[in-house]
Structure 1
């Protein structure tokens, strides 16, 4: 197993907890305005999306927006640093037919996993699918047509971890986002 403390010593702090929490508050205002009068199906993408999704849900609730919770677990990484074939570990049990769906995930990197998840939601009959991502990686390699509808912060095109994102299956609970030094 990799040494998380060694990774932290070789990383830059990109966004601290206060910055991330302020970004989540800003996002909640936009999401509230877009969903007022409806109860969206709020699908957390596990595992990475969990810390962000919990914080965002509380902010939406504080604004008076109710959401119906659901989750999915699909991965292309399985502990590796590069993605492979999409593996479904859990699909939502709630029907997506005719629903407004909000996918909540930690990061939009190249977007391959989210693109496949979004396509699956379309196949299930979702009326609308939007993406809320805590972080968006800055580069030009994203899947065409895939973008976060709601974004918290931008991160550099480096290996990032913390606040749900892992460093070799560690560090998801760090209350900040770090990037390994080049």
Structure 2
């Protein structure tokens, strides 16, 4: 998988960022799905760590032909390289009995510190699932290396789904 030459360029704030574009994302999701299948693992259920893993989990589930999908909502990052003391789970919560005895592929966009991936992997394993994980990126400092990963980087990553700020509209536009 190749990325454009301007990847990992320093922005005006001095932070180096890797940029993943939509066309690269599509290829990356299919590459990860192929890696999963080549390993012999056949997930019955794909679970996203929301929000970052939602788009990737959907793409991988389609590429694998896996119809059962779910998500676990976790908050950890509050800004560029800023995080809470520990990941926090938010509702709606996953139907934990539904994963008992299932082969689960847990998907997130990046394993940065690894605390989120480790927490959710343990939660699913404690619920009786056979869990493997996949991310697009992994950071060298992570405590949880995914089973399937596209690329390692020390940089902040700009994903196509989070590259722009949230949409804002005037109240009059919404009513019209």
TM-score (norm 1): 0.69
Q: Evaluate the alpha carbon distance shift between residue 46 and residue 67 of structure 1 in structure 2; reply closer, same or farther with a 3 A threshold.
A: same
1:112-143 alpha-carbon deviations (Å, 9 max, x no partner): 111111111122121x1110101122x2x221
2:125 aligns with 122
Structure 1 residue aligned with 2:30, among 25, 29, 41?
A: 25
CA RMSD of aligned residues (A): 2.7
Structure 1 residue aligned with 2:145, among 144, 147, 158?
A: 147
1:180 aligns with none
State the alpha-carbon separation in 2 of the partners of residues 94 and 71 from structure 1: 11
Structure 2: segments with no counterpart, 5+ residues = 1-9, 167-176
1:12-60 alpha-carbon deviations (Å, 9 max, x no partner): 5544333332222222112234234xx5221111011112122222222
Q: Does residue 133 of structure 2 align to residue 131 of structure 1? A: yes
Q: Does residue 60 of structure 2 align to residue 59 of structure 1? A: no
1:175 aligns with none
SS at match of 1:35: coil
Check whether the contact 1:20–1:152 (CA below 8 A) recurs between aligned residues: no
TM-score (norm 2): 0.71
Greater relative contact order, per chain length (Cα 8 Å cut-off, separation 6+): 1
Q: Evaluate the alpha carbon distance shift between residue 89 and residue 120 of structure 1 in structure 2; reply closer, same or farther with a 3 A threshold.
A: same
**Number of residue pairs the alignment of both structures matches:** 150
Which of these two proteins has the greater Rg computed from alpha carbons?
Answer: 2
2:84 aligns with 83
Structure 1: segments with no counterpart, 5+ residues = 1-7, 172-182
Q: Does residue 164 of structure 2 align to residue 163 of structure 1? A: no
Check whether the contact 2:53–2:109 (CA below 8 A) recurs between aligned residues: yes
1:178 aligns with none
SS at match of 2:74: strand
